[in-house]
Structure 1
Amino acid sequence: MPELPEVEALKDFLTDHLAGREIVRVLPVAVSVLKTYDPPLSALEGRAVTAVTRHGKFLDVDADGLHFVVHLARAGWLQWRDRLPDGPARHPTTAPHRRATRDPSLMRPGKGPLAMRVALETGEGFDLTEAGTQKRLAVYVVRDPSEVPGVARLGPDPLAAGFDEQRFAKLLEGERRQLKGALRDQSLIAGVGNAYSDEILHVAKMSPFKLASSLTDEETHRLYEALRTTLAEAVERSRGLAAGRLKAEKKSGLRVHGRTGEACPVCGDTVREVSFSASSLQYCPTCQTGGKPLADRRMSRLLK
């Protein structure tokens, strides 16, 4: 899932490639991806992009006052195309020339990964794609990004200038949840997902199951520093990369997430995993839990 660093890099990439350019066609290939109907998608056509911003894990393309807001969800991605396969603003069912029918991703709408296509006057554009069978990628066309429910409920951005340690400590007061869940809660802190919550907790040397409300002042300081530095370093690694290289960059920079069975780069212990119904977390026992493996209830049931 794209998280704050990747979405920040996509924002910068799209700013360079979209700003000042006119949108000539927005084609929904998977109808379910569009979550709003007023204004319609067609209202974007003929408008120039004036800015691209980020709200947590949401991308916001401002087209002269109308906002094209995208949440890539777990398996969504944005693919930039220097030249769209069927040329700008052509749908295979209406295009009069043969070339427009050669893009297989448009021949069977809803059957492949392509969810939406945005074409520019230059012939460039981008595709929104989503792998897998669970379709959660979401697109909104709104007059104000706060009209998007997910944006409206976002907590503070952890890399914002005003997000200091005092504010972070205040957010954790009374939080009876485990740190892993608290860090992933978008209404508490915007932009952190499954991967970077693992990385932050590894840097902070804390168990993902530790209660947020139980932190001492020193532990709160350590977690705050880990949160800011982990995200800032990931943003810096991604800066200037093309959209197509961001996934590989994210994976190469992770130290524990997705590395079950590998050696911890800090202490050399084996990275372990706890599995849940729809996700998993990774951690280092030596660095984070005093050498004790965490209980993995799903694996325990399988071994019985």
Structure 2
Amino acid sequence: MPELPEVTALAADLNARLTGRVIDRLTISAFAALKTFDPPVEALHGLTIAGVSRHGKFLDVSAGDLHVVLHLARAGWIRWRETPPPPPSGRPGKGPLAARLVLDDGSGLDITEAGTKKSLSISVVRDPSDVPGIARLGPDPLDASFTRDAFARILAGQGRAQIKGVLRNQSVIAGIGNAYSDEILHAARMSPFKPAAMSDDELDRLYDAMQSTLREALARADGLAASELKSEKKSGLRVHGRTGEPCPVCGDTIRQVIFADSTLQYCPTCQTGGKPLADRVLSRLVK
């Protein structure tokens, strides 16, 4: 799933390609992906794109007085196409193609989603805040107002909620997902199951880790085309997705915990005092 650094770079890449271009049409192949009906997608015809921006993990293509808001979810992506699209083949919605944004010269974007579990969303709205996911977003961790004291107030309000879940909760902090929450907690030398209520020293460590991890990832992604962002993200991760590999800091073996719909990765030596965390899925398999 693209997170704050990749969505920021993707927005910059698309902004450079799309600003000033005229929309011919938005065609929907996966009808479940379209979450709105008013305004209709036909209202985009002839509008000039003013720019592309980011709200948390949402992309916002602004055209005229409308916005096309995209959330790529776990397996969605965007591909730039220089030439007119080929005619549709097969039944709509059966392949990876979810939608196409076609410009007046035939170039444009293919919006795709891999896998069988479809969560990608497309909304055509008059205001980005009309999208429920944007309306309930928490503060952006790279905004100037997101200070150490602001972060302290956020954590104080979360009480004993596990810090991994707090970092991933888009209503609490916008833009951080499964991968970068693992990376931040590893950099902070903190267990993913630690309560959000913590000491001042721990809070300082976590805040610094959040800022450095996200800003370093943002710098690595800066200027990359959409086609390069996935591989860059994977290559820059130290623990997430690296189960069984040595920790780059201490050399211990990176472990994972499996949940119903996701996994987390961590280093026991760096984060949990050398103790492996209980993995309920693995425990059930052993019984």
TM-score by length of 1: 0.92
The counterpart of 2:244, out of the listed 261, 264, 268, is 261
| SS state at 1:50 partner | strand
Q: Is the 8 A contact 2:67 2:125 kept in 1?
A: yes
Deviation at 1:108, TM superposition (A): 2.4
Match of 2:44 in 1: 44
Deviation at 1:297, TM superposition (A): 1.0
The counterpart of 1:194, out of the listed 156, 178, 197, is 178
The counterpart of 1:228, out of the listed 211, 217, 232, is 211
Query: Hey, what's the Cα distance between the residues in 2 that align with 1:177 and 1:77?
Result: 32
Match of 2:196 in 1: 212
Deviation at 1:30, TM superposition (A): 0.8
Query: Hey, what's the Cα distance between the residues in 1 that align with 2:277 and 2:126?
Result: 47
**Percent identity over the alignment?**
64
Moved over 6 A (4+): none
| SS state at 1:24 partner | strand
Gaps of 5+ in 1: 87-100
Deviation at 1:107, TM superposition (A): 3.4
Deviation at 1:228, TM superposition (A): 1.0
Deviations 1:204-234 (A, max 9, x none): 0000000001x10111111011111111111
Query: Hey, what's the Cα distance between the residues in 2 that align with 1:218 and 1:83?
Result: 55
Deviations 1:59-90 (A, max 9, x none): 0000012000000011111111111333xxxx
Match of 1:126 in 2: 109
Query: Hey, what's the Cα distance between the residues in 2 that align with 1:267 and 1:9?
Result: 31
Gaps of 5+ in 2: none
Deviation at 1:123, TM superposition (A): 2.2
2:42 aligned partner, one-letter code: S
Select between 151-160 and 172-181 the one with higher mean Cα deviation: 172-181
Please list, as runs of the form range in 1=range in 2, the aligned pairs for 1:39-78 lying within 5 A after superposition: 39-78=39-78
Match of 1:29 in 2: 29
Count, aligned residues:
286
Please list, as runs of the form range in 1=range in 2, the aligned pairs for 1:1-304 lying within 5 A after superposition: 1-86=1-86, 101=87, 106-175=89-158, 176-213=160-197, 215-304=198-287
Deviations 1:284-303 (A, max 9, x none): 00100011100111101101
TM-score by length of 2: 0.98
2:247 aligned partner, one-letter code: C
Q: Please provide the CA RMSD for this pair.
A: 0.9
Deviations 1:79-119 (A, max 9, x none): 11111333xxxxxxxxxxxxxx3x5xx43211100000001
